[in-house]
Amino acid sequence: MAMNVHKTPISDAWILEPKVFEDDRGFFLESYSERTFAEIGITQRFVQDNHSCSKRGVLRGLHYQVEKGQGKLVRVVTGEVLDVFLDLRRSSPTFGRWHLAKLSDQNRLMAWVPVGCAHGFYVLSDFAHVLYKSTEFYYPELERTILWNDPDLHIHWGTDSPLLSAKDQRGTRFRDAEVFA
Protein backbone atom coordinates (compact mmCIF):
# COMPACT_ATOMS: atom_id res chain seq x y z
CA MET A 1 0.00 0.00 0.00
CA ALA A 2 1.24 3.51 -0.82
CA MET A 3 0.10 4.90 2.52
CA ASN A 4 0.36 4.22 6.25
CA VAL A 5 -2.85 4.79 8.21
CA HIS A 6 -2.73 6.10 11.78
CA LYS A 7 -5.93 5.83 13.79
CA THR A 8 -7.11 8.81 15.80
CA PRO A 9 -9.37 8.85 18.86
CA ILE A 10 -12.20 10.00 16.55
CA SER A 11 -14.25 7.25 14.93
CA ASP A 12 -13.47 6.90 11.18
CA ALA A 13 -11.00 9.83 11.20
CA TRP A 14 -7.38 9.06 10.35
CA ILE A 15 -3.98 10.62 9.87
CA LEU A 16 -2.53 9.35 6.61
CA GLU A 17 1.18 9.06 5.89
CA PRO A 18 1.99 8.70 2.20
CA LYS A 19 5.07 6.80 1.11
CA VAL A 20 7.66 9.35 0.01
CA PHE A 21 10.28 8.60 -2.62
CA GLU A 22 13.13 11.03 -2.03
CA ASP A 23 16.58 11.50 -3.51
CA ASP A 24 18.98 14.36 -4.27
CA ARG A 25 16.56 15.71 -6.92
CA GLY A 26 13.67 16.13 -4.50
CA PHE A 27 10.72 13.88 -3.70
CA PHE A 28 7.58 12.27 -5.08
CA LEU A 29 4.48 11.16 -3.23
CA GLU A 30 1.02 10.04 -4.21
CA SER A 31 -1.39 12.38 -2.40
CA TYR A 32 -4.54 10.71 -3.73
CA SER A 33 -5.37 7.48 -5.52
CA GLU A 34 -8.94 6.22 -5.71
CA ARG A 35 -7.66 2.63 -5.51
CA THR A 36 -5.43 3.25 -2.47
CA PHE A 37 -8.12 5.18 -0.65
CA ALA A 38 -10.70 2.45 -1.33
CA GLU A 39 -8.27 -0.07 0.26
CA ILE A 40 -8.14 2.19 3.34
CA GLY A 41 -11.93 2.44 3.42
CA ILE A 42 -12.40 5.94 2.02
CA THR A 43 -14.75 5.39 -0.91
CA GLN A 44 -16.46 8.76 -1.04
CA ARG A 45 -16.19 10.72 -4.27
CA PHE A 46 -14.32 14.04 -4.07
CA VAL A 47 -16.08 16.87 -5.89
CA GLN A 48 -14.11 19.99 -4.98
CA ASP A 49 -10.49 20.94 -4.22
CA ASN A 50 -9.71 23.99 -2.07
CA HIS A 51 -6.51 25.92 -1.41
CA SER A 52 -6.12 28.20 1.60
CA CYS A 53 -3.13 30.45 2.31
CA SER A 54 -2.90 31.96 5.79
CA LYS A 55 -0.27 33.80 7.77
CA ARG A 56 1.14 32.96 11.21
CA GLY A 57 -1.44 33.15 13.99
CA VAL A 58 -4.51 32.69 11.78
CA LEU A 59 -7.10 30.25 13.08
CA ARG A 60 -9.75 29.01 10.66
CA GLY A 61 -12.67 27.05 12.03
CA LEU A 62 -14.17 25.02 13.42
CA HIS A 63 -16.29 24.73 10.26
CA TYR A 64 -18.84 22.18 9.10
CA GLN A 65 -21.79 22.03 6.78
CA VAL A 66 -25.33 20.86 7.70
CA GLU A 67 -27.63 18.89 5.36
CA LYS A 68 -24.84 18.42 2.80
CA GLY A 69 -21.97 17.33 5.06
CA GLN A 70 -18.42 17.37 3.77
CA GLY A 71 -15.69 14.80 4.23
CA LYS A 72 -12.28 16.44 3.85
CA LEU A 73 -8.82 15.19 2.96
CA VAL A 74 -6.48 17.87 4.34
CA ARG A 75 -2.78 18.41 3.71
CA VAL A 76 -0.24 21.20 4.05
CA VAL A 77 2.05 21.86 1.09
CA THR A 78 3.91 24.82 2.61
CA GLY A 79 4.27 25.61 6.30
CA GLU A 80 2.87 24.01 9.43
CA VAL A 81 -0.53 23.97 11.14
CA LEU A 82 -2.29 22.46 14.12
CA ASP A 83 -5.20 20.66 12.48
CA VAL A 84 -8.27 19.95 14.62
CA PHE A 85 -11.41 17.96 13.98
CA LEU A 86 -14.40 17.59 16.29
CA ASP A 87 -16.95 14.75 16.11
CA LEU A 88 -20.50 16.14 15.73
CA ARG A 89 -22.18 12.77 15.01
CA ARG A 90 -24.58 12.10 17.87
CA SER A 91 -24.61 8.36 17.01
CA SER A 92 -20.81 8.13 17.07
CA PRO A 93 -19.03 6.59 20.07
CA THR A 94 -16.66 9.59 19.94
CA PHE A 95 -19.37 12.30 19.78
CA GLY A 96 -18.05 15.56 21.26
CA ARG A 97 -14.40 14.48 21.19
CA TRP A 98 -11.72 16.31 19.25
CA HIS A 99 -8.30 15.43 17.88
CA LEU A 100 -5.34 17.66 17.11
CA ALA A 101 -2.53 16.78 14.68
CA LYS A 102 0.44 18.72 13.36
CA LEU A 103 0.42 18.78 9.56
CA SER A 104 3.34 20.29 7.67
CA ASP A 105 5.32 20.32 4.46
CA GLN A 106 8.04 18.49 6.41
CA ASN A 107 6.04 15.56 7.82
CA ARG A 108 3.74 15.39 4.73
CA LEU A 109 0.91 13.92 6.80
CA MET A 110 -2.71 14.22 5.70
CA ALA A 111 -5.90 14.19 7.77
CA TRP A 112 -9.07 12.38 6.73
CA VAL A 113 -11.96 14.26 8.36
CA PRO A 114 -15.19 12.30 7.79
CA VAL A 115 -18.65 13.75 7.19
CA GLY A 116 -20.11 14.81 10.52
CA CYS A 117 -16.96 16.39 11.93
CA ALA A 118 -16.14 20.08 12.28
CA HIS A 119 -12.67 21.07 11.07
CA GLY A 120 -10.24 23.90 11.73
CA PHE A 121 -6.56 24.74 11.83
CA TYR A 122 -4.13 27.18 13.45
CA VAL A 123 -1.06 28.38 11.51
CA LEU A 124 2.29 27.89 13.30
CA SER A 125 4.66 28.93 10.47
CA ASP A 126 5.13 32.34 8.80
CA PHE A 127 2.43 31.23 6.37
CA ALA A 128 0.80 27.98 5.36
CA HIS A 129 -0.75 26.68 2.17
CA VAL A 130 -3.44 24.14 3.07
CA LEU A 131 -5.06 22.01 0.37
CA TYR A 132 -8.14 19.94 0.94
CA LYS A 133 -10.35 17.74 -1.15
CA SER A 134 -14.03 17.75 -0.27
CA THR A 135 -16.75 15.14 -0.78
CA GLU A 136 -19.50 17.77 -1.14
CA PHE A 137 -19.69 21.18 -2.73
CA TYR A 138 -19.50 24.27 -0.53
CA TYR A 139 -22.85 25.85 0.31
CA PRO A 140 -22.30 29.05 2.34
CA GLU A 141 -25.89 29.02 3.59
CA LEU A 142 -25.31 25.56 5.11
CA GLU A 143 -21.96 26.33 6.74
CA ARG A 144 -21.79 26.48 10.52
CA THR A 145 -18.97 27.36 12.91
CA ILE A 146 -18.22 26.01 16.38
CA LEU A 147 -16.55 28.57 18.65
CA TRP A 148 -12.80 27.87 18.54
CA ASN A 149 -12.35 28.50 22.27
CA ASP A 150 -15.54 26.88 23.58
CA PRO A 151 -14.81 26.32 27.30
CA ASP A 152 -16.66 22.99 27.23
CA LEU A 153 -14.26 21.58 24.60
CA HIS A 154 -10.87 22.69 26.03
CA ILE A 155 -9.08 22.47 22.65
CA HIS A 156 -5.35 23.09 23.11
CA TRP A 157 -4.65 25.44 20.21
CA GLY A 158 -1.51 26.87 21.82
CA THR A 159 -2.81 30.45 21.66
CA ASP A 160 -5.26 32.73 23.42
CA SER A 161 -5.40 35.40 20.73
CA PRO A 162 -5.50 34.01 17.18
CA LEU A 163 -6.32 36.05 14.10
CA LEU A 164 -9.96 35.23 13.33
CA SER A 165 -12.50 36.12 10.68
CA ALA A 166 -15.67 37.87 11.84
CA LYS A 167 -17.56 34.64 11.11
CA ASP A 168 -15.24 32.57 13.30
CA GLN A 169 -15.50 35.13 16.13
CA ARG A 170 -19.27 34.56 16.14
CA GLY A 171 -19.05 30.76 16.35
CA THR A 172 -21.67 28.74 18.21
CA ARG A 173 -20.97 26.89 21.45
CA PHE A 174 -20.80 23.11 20.96
CA ARG A 175 -23.78 22.56 23.26
CA ASP A 176 -25.92 24.81 21.00
CA ALA A 177 -24.63 23.49 17.66
CA GLU A 178 -26.63 21.73 14.97
CA VAL A 179 -25.24 18.21 15.04
CA PHE A 180 -25.57 15.12 12.89
CA ALA A 181 -27.81 12.14 13.73
Catalytic residues: 63, 132
- What is d(CA 81, CA 144) in angstroms, rounded to the nearest whole number? 21
Give strand pairing partners of 15.
6, 111
